[in-house]
Amino acid sequence: MAVIGGGLSGLYTALLLHQRGVSTRLLEARDRLGGRILSQGIDDGGRAIATATDRYDLGPAWFWPEIQPRMGRLLAQLGLGAFPQATDGLMLIERDAGVHPHRVQQGGRAEPRSMRIRGGVQSIVDRLSAQLPAAHVHRSTTVTALAADPEEGLVRLQAQGPDGPATLLARQVVLALPPRLCAATIAFTPELPRELQARLAAVPTWMAGHAKFLAVYTRAFWREQGLSGAAMSAVGPLAEIHDASAAEGAPALFGFFGLSASERARPDGESLEARCLRQLVRLYGPDAARPRAVFLMDWARERYTATAADAAWPSSHPQYGPVRAPAGLWTDRLLWASTETAGAFGGYLAGALEAAVVAADTVSATR
Ligand SMILES: Cc1cc2nc3c(=O)[nH]c(=O)nc-3n(C[C@H](O)[C@H](O)[C@H](O)COP(=O)(O)OP(=O)(O)OC[C@H]3O[C@@H](n4cnc5c(N)ncnc54)[C@H](O)[C@@H]3O)c2cc1C
């Protein structure tokens, strides 16, 4: 059994199969596991480190256990704690350049409440991967081609591994990478039907066109002003800002860019980081000019997340749903499992878990 992609969906599929006694290889293109999940800490000098106990989320940060019980159950099984997104205080609205931002009440308690994970969402990745046999997890291994062998009843996977080209044989393959990336980067023999290829290519990879800026501070100076840290801005470069403080560690603010991927890629003399800090100073005052550390994570530039088609992001949440293997040689040999193929919560972390459970159950039922 081979699972392509070591994001949440691939890791959870691999773990469920391992727990059911199915020998499973996990192939991950990056040199790290987690995919769109990425949490970073800082050392005393403000340098990024992956292993800190308190980490800041540069990918997903929130989950909603009231409506996504599988996430809550998984965290409990993994012994991970959660804490609510900080929302106490006033929110800022910045409508026009040169006009002082308005202060508004945040409309009561948001329902369902956004929750964050102690130690960052990466803690899920750490705990899941620790339960897999290390020898079956292959990082820096990019799958490039799949061929169904009609005689052996096996799938031949070709990959570019850390030591050069590698081949692996598997009875079944779970594609736990975004469908659009799968269509753009993996060659299939026999080819997938045209309609299926077009359908895969049309599925937007959730949040792939976005970028996050995050600044870590020594004091939560916004709270001292009665502010929650949340802001909506039509001026930018950040369009939506929130408190991103670690559970026990240093306070922080993060924002999603209002600039498109191509606007972010076009330098205009001043770095994006400097423009973001200037905006934070405008909103929260001079203390914002002196962060201990800043992070800028542009997901549109990540070749193992985004394709050129993801540069424009969808205006609303896409309709996601299961993808099935075509009839013929691929039947029961190919399964899709990324969050974009989930029957519920597609696009979200919870969707990655839903898709993984369905993939693992299907593998169990077809062996
Ligand atoms: C900025 C941002 C904010 C977000 N905020 C939230 C949030 O607050 N709450 C929420 O629920 N969700 C959020 N999401 C979405 C969430 O991150 C995803 O739902 C989830 O991480 C998807 O997991 P996945 O395993 O399906 O896909 P991915 O995490 O994309 O995993 C796919 C894996 O496949 C690997 N891969 C790709 N190509 C190959 C190949 N050829 N060979 C081998 N490996 C390959 C990739 O490297 C990657 O590790 C956010 C996403 C982003 C980017």
Q: Which tens digit of pLDDT belongs to each residue from 102-138?
A: 999 976 655 789 999 999 999 999 999 999 999 999 9
Do 201 and 225 lie in one domain? The reply is: no
Of 277, 301, 325, which residue is a domain's last?
A: 301
The answer to whether residues 51 and 170 belong to one domain is: no
In a domain, 310, yes or no: no
Q: Does residue 312 sit within a domain?
A: no
Q: What is the mean pLDDT of residues 345-349?
A: 98
* Secondary structure of residue 208 in the 3-state scheme: coil
Q: Is the domain of 179 the same as that of 263?
A: no
> What is the residue-averaged pLDDT of the chain?
95
- Give the structural domain span for 174: 1-37+121-205+317-367
Same domain assignment for residues 187 and 94: no
* Domain presence at residue 307: no
pLDDT in tens, 156-182: 999 999 999 999 999 999 999 999 999
342 has pLDDT over 90: yes
On whether both 217 and 365 belong to a single domain, the answer is no
Look at residue 108 in the predicted model and tell me its pLDDT: 60
The stretch 77-81 carries a mean pLDDT of 97
Q: Is it the case that residue 51 has pLDDT exceeding 80? A: no
Same domain (yes/no): 10, 94: no
DSSP letters along 122-157, please?
HHHHHHHHHTS-GGGEE-S-EEEEEEEETTTTEEEE
Residue 308 is assigned to a structural domain of this protein: no
How far, in Å, from the CA of 207 to the mean position of ligand 1? 9
> In this structure, is residue 353 part of a structural domain?
yes
Is 141 a member of any domain? yes
Distance of CA 269 from the midpoint of ligand 1 (Å): 32
Tell how far the Cα of 334 is from the centroid of ligand 1, in angstroms.
20
Q: Are residues 197 and 88 in the same domain?
A: no
63/75 Cα distance (integer angstroms): 11
How far, in Å, is the centroid of ligand 1 from the Cα of 176? Answer: 9
Instruction: Give mean pLDDT, residues 15-24.
Output: 97
Give backbone dihedrals phi and psi of 295, rounded to 5 degrees, phi first.
-130, 140
- Nearest residue (by CA) to ligand 1, atom 50, is 60
Q: Model pTM?
A: 0.97
User: Which ligand 1 atom is at minimum distance from the Cα of 64?
Assistant: 11
Among 9-18, 144-153, 230-239, 341-350, name the one with the lowest average pLDDT: 144-153
| Token output for 285 | 């005052």
> Tens digit of pLDDT for each residue in 217-238?
999 999 999 999 999 999 999 9
Residues with CB under 6 A from ligand 1: 4-10, 27-30, 35-37, 59-63, 142-143, 176-178, 181, 185-186, 206-207, 210, 212, 299, 304-305, 338-339, 347-349, 351-352
What is the predicted pLDDT for the residue at 48? 85
Q: What is the mean pLDDT of residues 331-346?
A: 97
Residues 191, 165, single domain; the answer is yes
Q: Which atom of ligand 1 is nearest to the CA of 186?
A: 41
In total, how many domains does the chain have? Answer: 2
Residues 86 and 135 in one domain: no
Instruction: Give me the residues paired with residue 40 across strands.
Output: 56
| pLDDT at site 111 | 76
Q: Is residue 322 part of a domain?
A: yes
Could you tell me if 86 and 101 lie in one domain?
yes
**What pLDDT, in 10s, does the model give residues 55-69?**
999 999 999 999 999
